[in-house]
Amino acid sequence: MRKGLLLLLVGLSVGLHAQINTERVMTIARNALYFEDYVLSIQYFNQVINAKPYLYEPYFFRGLAKFNLDDYQGAEADCDAAIQRNPFVVAAYQIRGLARIRQNKYDGAIQDYRTALKYDPENVALWHNLSLCHIQKKDYVSANEDLGKLLKISPRYTRAYLMRGEVCLLQKDTLQALQNFEQAIDLDKYDPDGWAARAIVRIQQGQYADAESDLNQAIHLSVHNAGNYINRALTRYHRNNLRGAMSDYDLALKIDPNNFIGHYNRGLLRAQVGDDNRAIEDFDFVLKMEPDNMMATFNRGLLRAQTGDYRGAASDYSTVIEQYPNFTTGYYYRAEARKKMGDRKGASEDEFKLMKIQLDQRNGTTDSSADNKQTADNKEAVTDEDGKTRKKSDKNMNNYRKIVIADDADDTQRYKSDYRGRVQDRNVTIKLEPMYALTYYEKLSDVKRAVHYYKYIDELNRSKVLPKPLHITNMEAPLTEEQVKFHFALIDAHTSDIVANDHDAMKRFLRGLDFYLVQDFANSINDFTQAILCDDTFFPAYLMRSLVRYKQLEYKRAEAATVTDAVTSDGDNAAKQTDVKAIDYDLVRSDLDKVIQLAPDFVYAYYNRGNVLSMLKDYRGALADYDKAIQMNPEFAEAYFNRGLTHIFLGNNKQGISDLSKAGELGIVNAYNIIKRFTDTQEE
């Protein structure tokens, strides 16, 4: 009897131990997911699934990670598994709907959103995506019905007005579209999409000055949208401001170098002002994208003739004539090119052919097959009233000189791609630049190329005690699968060394770094603490412990702020709410105080402490730390950025904008959007 009881207790103990480990691995996995380390998070979720395949959460979160890695089929399969285990998880339907959308499975996505809305009927993101699916399927009646329901739930949701206006445009009701766009602007004048949408309607109405004004405002609020520059170029073209239009095409192509309309229209405008060689470059680019584009081919032929390349011009004209045998303009220009090449026979043949086509057209006896093709293309031609533009889909060769505008389907592309969902838990509002860390992996920036140096860290790297050189960075790179395996192997190796000598601060620090990189924060903090106990003068351990504690708190704050979508079948919330208080940050601040005491010239400690103080709303203290960091390093872009935001939090917009301007100058491009927003506020 006693033996049986003992076995039962052992079994319970093992079961409880497995449960605790599973929960801990889930926590680490969700840490990795939150900090965008998707490959690593998938490996942790795999461990949980192997241990407890009946849980829905690891399948759901693994699907979320796969979605972020663009594995939409895998994400859908994992959400299927999550829903099979718990059919009441709204977020699983939401992510599966998004995964299906990315695979053009709109019917399946609609079914997912309708099911999710049964459990959460006031979820704005679900109504938003459902409406967009109906728009994609051209079911405008259903889209309008759903948008009406969405606006009853959330009357101030501007995206719904923008979508409803878009539906009106697709139904050719410009008056209703305009009213919806104006409502969106009234509700949120800082949303660039409202101004851009109204501009499109005004362009269609021929109100080019008003459209340009709207686009000026949209660009003021969002400088990185190529489409707004393309549309403003069109308004400027209609107002005969060719130089302004070309400038806009230049800006659009800096943002989106592969923009077809930008290259094609800039080529036409360059041709108009006599910049023939650069116009040829634009049409060359267009023809790389669309080798069968006959309009671009013919325009390039004209430009080649202008620059004396008659053989190239004749080749382009021949390509067009082969496709359009009754295109009289093509024969005319090819005859001219052949004359200048000395090909009198070829020129005479073209002139004879040109005369024959013209006579046949008068007598109604043209070649039927060629005529049918040209007639069909003529029917497709849609131009504006003054004949200056043509739709991109227009194949009528007689419109070769006209500026290209987007087709109706392209006009709405901004809204079609604007699906909403809890793709990952992260704050998308204006926020401080991140904390600095010591890590082996750093993201590369195309704009900001500062090298962060500190003598002690450089000496540490030169000592060869580290497996890789340490970087001082606030742009940490997620680990690849190979790197994950490498650091798990290092953890095992360091553990063997620590067992042999548990008083080695460096070994403890190195294993702490490995645990940090694989997002195991609890073990990481423990190792950094042990390193400090072994050597209380080793400041990198204090720095990294402060960072890991800060990240733990950041994750807990996000969890606490999230209104969970996941509800278990017995009605309990799946996510555990965790309150984070100001006192929790005292340990982070205390560690940074110690770093500054041990290494008073380590500028990144002042910056990190400024971030902590700003988080605690001690803005005066934060400013003092940012001031000290900038005094020590006058080129410290992130310190200028965060000091600028802190000034703005205090209402000192002028000083804030000055700092943000310096941050932008030093490579933080996000500063410019914030400057525009708060400059506008300041002017009011």
Q: In b/e form, how buried is each residue of 179-206, taking b as 16+ CB within 10 angstroms?
A: bbbbbbbeebebbbbbbbbbbbbbbbee
Mean pLDDT of the region 81-93: 95
Which pLDDT value is given to residue 426?
34
Task: Note whether 389 and 452 are same-domain residues.
Answer: no
28, 41 contact by CB (below 8 A)? no
Q: How far apart are CA 116 and CA 103, in angstroms?
A: 20
What mean pLDDT comes out for the span 262-277? Answer: 93
- The pLDDT, as a whole number, for residue 557 is 80
355 lies in the same domain as 457:
no
Assign 415 a pLDDT band (cuts: 50, 70, 90): very low
Q: Are residues 451 and 324 in the same domain?
A: no
Domain range for 649 is: 437-478+537-683
Q: What is the CA radius of gyration of the chain?
A: 32
pLDDT confidence tier of residue 59, bands split at 50, 70 and 90: very high
Q: Tell whether 66 and 8 lie within a shared domain.
A: yes
Q: Please check the confidence at residue 568 and state whether its pLDDT lies above 60.
A: no
Q: What is the pLDDT of residues 239-252, one digit of tens each?
A: 999 999 999 999 99
Does one domain contain both 349 and 443? no
Taking residues 283-306, report their average pLDDT.
94
Domain boundary among 69, 93, 121: 121
According to the model, what pLDDT value does residue 408 have?
A: 58
Domain endpoint, select from 366, 393, 426: 426
Domain end, chosen from 121, 155, 190, is at 121
Encoding tokens for residue 73? 């089929």
Residue 370 has pLDDT above 60, yes or no: no
Question: Does a structural domain hold residue 571?
Answer: yes
Same domain, 315 and 462: no
Written as one letter, the residue type at 369 is: S
Q: DSSP state, 289?
A: H
- pLDDT by residue (tens digit) across 586-624? 999 999 999 999 999 999 999 999 999 998 889 999 999
Would residue 302 count as lying in a domain?
Answer: yes
Q: Do 39 and 478 contact (CB within 8 A), yes or no?
A: yes
Question: What is residue 391's DSSP assignment?
Answer: E
Residue 495 lies in a domain: no
Mean pLDDT of 157-177: 92
Classified as helix, coil or strand, 105 is coil
416 C-beta neighbours (distance < 10 Å), count: 16
Residue 329 CB neighbour total at 10 angstroms: 17
d(CA 602, CA 614): 19
- Per DSSP, the three-state class of 367 is coil
401 & 465 share domain: no
Where is pLDDT greater, at 566 or 72? 72
pLDDT at 425 over 70: no
| pTM across the whole model | 0.71
- Higher-pLDDT residue of 679 and 159 is 159
Mean predicted confidence (pLDDT) in 371-376: 48
Query: Does residue 270 lie in a domain region?
Result: no
Q: How many CB atoms lie within 10 A of CB 436?
A: 23
Pick the closest to residue 283 from 308, 302, 256 (CA basis). Answer: 302
Bridge partner residues of 383 (DSSP): 390
51 in the same domain as 20:
yes
DSSP per-residue string spanning 176-209:
HHHHHHHHHHHH-TT-HHHHHHHHHHHHHTT-HH
* Cα 182-184-189 angle, rounded to 5 deg: 95
Tokens read off for 220:
């003021």
Same domain? For 593 and 633 the reply is yes
415 and 300 inside one domain: yes
Residue 23 is predicted with a pLDDT of 87
Would you state the structure tokens that stand for residue 283, as one six-digit string? 């049409």
Q: pLDDT by residue (tens digit) across 466-511? A: 999 999 999 999 888 899 999 999 999 999 989 888 889 999 999 9
In this predicted structure, the answer to whether residue 565 has a pLDDT above a threshold of 50 is no
Query: Is residue 214 one of the residues assigned to a domain?
Result: no
* Average confidence (pLDDT) over 321-337: 93
412 pLDDT above the threshold of 50:
no
Q: Looking at the structure, do residues 448 and 420 belong to the same domain, yes or no?
A: no
587 part of a folded domain: yes
Whether residue 572 has pLDDT greater than 80? no
Give the model's pLDDT for residue 673: 73
Same domain? For 375 and 412 the reply is yes
Place of tokens 């009853």: 152
Number of domain units in the chain: 3
**Quick check: is 200 in a domain?**
no
Is 385 part of any domain? yes
Q: What is the CATH number of the domain that holds 384?
A: 1.25.40.10
The whole-chain average pLDDT of the chain stands at 85
